[in-house]
Amino acid sequence: MRKTFEIFSNNLLFAFSELSKNKLRTFLSLLGITFGIFCIISVMATVNSLQRNVQNSLKAIGSNTIYIQKWAWGGGSDYPWWKYMNRPITRYKEMEPLKKKTTLAQAIAYSYFNTSAIEYGDVSLASVNWYGITEEFDQIQPVEIEVGRYLSQREFESGAASVVLGYNVAENLFNKAGNALGKEIEVKGRKLQVIGIIKKQGQNLLGGWKFDEVIMIPYKFAAQIGSEERSDGFMMVKGKENIPVEDLKNELRGIMRGIRRLSPKQEDNFALNDVNSGSEQINSIFSGMTVGGFAITILSFIVGIFGVANIMFVTVRERTSIIGLKKAIGAKRRTILSEFLMESAFLCVLGGAIGLILVFLLTFFLTNVLKFEVFISWKLFFGAVFACILTGILAGLIPAFIAARMDPVAAIRSK
């Protein structure tokens, strides 16, 4: 064991010494490996980070949740907007019949939003979205409170003039979010007391609720200051545990058709938007992107293998006489073989390490400057290290075999 370790350490030191002697060649080899690793890992890290951020954004909208709305989620040039234009909006009065008839729903909430100016003293914020919400809203869409508290059951039932502010709204009105607690703001000429500040959420790639930029008030109070007719209200329905989403959708479809008294021949005049189906579509898109990333990875490593192999062939030719001397004094084939394989692997690992450092710098820049969280998973990190070692071994395999099989006499005379 000790002898093996000594051979390993000596080969490693010799590889480092030989690489340092040929600085230009080493630099060009490292440049190719570094650039390849940088491109591969940065692409894969960005794809993985984008997928995670999008999935987190979808989860923030509500998992296992159906949105009953006038408009179907979609987009593009073929979106049939004309089909939904004349549909009725989802109304608050439809929530109670739905609650009574459903057996698969865990929670149902109604919400609608409006936009208006918000004032506190001499400070005014224009075009702030405010949500009128019902009691079970936070059971479907959790609201984390930074300071103060959330709306109480009594406030929902009585339609109290209480309000929960988004973090950015509170900061813009009061300079510091904590200063807002207990103060009164004015919305459409009505005073509301601030009882809580929502914890800062940060950017959301899909938009979502944008809790930082909104205020939340009980629906019954919201109905006094804003018309439900002028906004697209919607219901959120969260299914019970282990209930398939399709079963929940089918039940909701039947109940809503009954509430709206649609005949069997009439089409649905409402949309059942499913967060999970959107998640599946996004997963399929990112699967294609991942396959493309792997294709780029394989191509880059093939190019890297040929580049390093070319360098190793030159190295073997330059050291032919040295190889002959080593074999003449008793060096075994496996010693010569391991020497060149180690040098090749060391070259690739060193280039890969530099590439990974550059990728870490890129992730730091994107995360802190562009406000887009990019991360390198441990799986990707160790995969890059393994790929570098594998590239080095494959690139040095044939040159190492040639060196190990040399005739010592012929090798010495070649000088």
The pLDDT tens digits of the residues spanning 53-112 come to: 666 666 655 567 899 998 887 655 566 777 778 888 899 999 999 999 999 999 999 998
Residue 191: per-residue pLDDT: 92
| Interval 233-238 mean pLDDT | 91
pTM beyond 0.75, yes or no:
no
Residue 2: per-residue pLDDT: 59
Residue 133: per-residue pLDDT: 93
Residue 291: per-residue pLDDT: 74
Residue 278: per-residue pLDDT: 58
- Report the alpha-carbon angle 105-108-109, nearest 5: 165
Q: Which two tokens stand for residue 255?
A: 């109940």
Share of the chain above pLDDT 70, in %: 81
Please tell me the distance from the alpha carbon of residue 51 to that of residue 39, in angstroms, as a whole number: 18
Length of the chain as a residue count:
415
CA distances to 66, 67, 254, 265, 383 from 90, in Å: 13, 10, 15, 21, 50
Backbone angles phi, psi at 347, to 5 degrees: -60, -45
pLDDT-derived band of residue 237, with 50, 70 and 90 as boundaries?
very high
**Range in 16-25, 83-92, 116-125, 148-157 the model is least confident about:** 16-25
Q: Around 79, how many Cα atoms within 13 Å sit in the side-chain half-sphere?
A: 10
Whether 255 and 182 have beta carbons less than 8 Å apart is answered as no
Residue 152: per-residue pLDDT: 93
Helix axes 378-404, 333-368, angle to 10 degrees: 150
Residue 22: per-residue pLDDT: 67
Share of the chain above pLDDT 90, in %: 23
Collect all residues with Cβ–Cβ distance below 8 Å to 35 and sequence separation of at least 6.
355
Determine how many CB atoms are found less than 10 A away from the CB of residue 112.
24
Backbone angles phi, psi at 88, to 5 degrees: -75, 155
Residue 82: per-residue pLDDT: 76
Please tell me the distance from the alpha carbon of residue 291 to that of residue 353, in angstroms, as a whole number: 24
Element of type H or E holding 67? strand 65-69
pLDDT digits (tens, 9 = 90+) for 266-300: 989 899 988 766 556 566 666 666 677 777 767 77
Please tell me the distance from the alpha carbon of residue 221 to that of residue 164, in angstroms, as a whole number: 13
pLDDT digits (tens, 9 = 90+) for 397-411: 888 888 778 777 676
Question: Computed from CA positions of residues 23, 26, 30, 32, in that sequence, does the dihedral angle turn out positive or negative?
Answer: positive
Residue 136: per-residue pLDDT: 92
Q: Average model confidence (pLDDT) for the chain?
A: 80
| Interval 161-171 mean pLDDT | 92
Please tell me the distance from the alpha carbon of residue 68 to that of residue 53, in angstroms, as a whole number: 25
Whether 255 and 272 have beta carbons less than 8 Å apart is answered as no
CA 171 to chain CA centroid, Å, is: 28
pLDDT digits (tens, 9 = 90+) for 312-325: 787 778 777 877 77
Q: Which two tokens stand for residue 38?
A: 């940088």
Residue 398: per-residue pLDDT: 81
Above 60 in pLDDT, residue 41? yes
Above 60 in pLDDT, residue 372? yes
Q: 49-59 in b/e burial notation, b at 16+ Cβ within 10 A?
A: bbbebbbebbe
Above 60 in pLDDT, residue 26? yes
**Range in 43-47, 245-249, 355-359 the model is least confident about:** 43-47
Please tell me the distance from the alpha carbon of residue 327 to that of residue 120, in angstroms, as a whole number: 88
Please tell me the distance from the alpha carbon of residue 97 to that of residue 257, in angstroms, as a whole number: 12
Q: Around 413, how many Cα atoms within 13 Å sit in the side-chain half-sphere?
A: 5
Residue 203: per-residue pLDDT: 63
pLDDT-derived band of residue 205, with 50, 70 and 90 as boundaries?
low
More confident: 193 or 327: 193
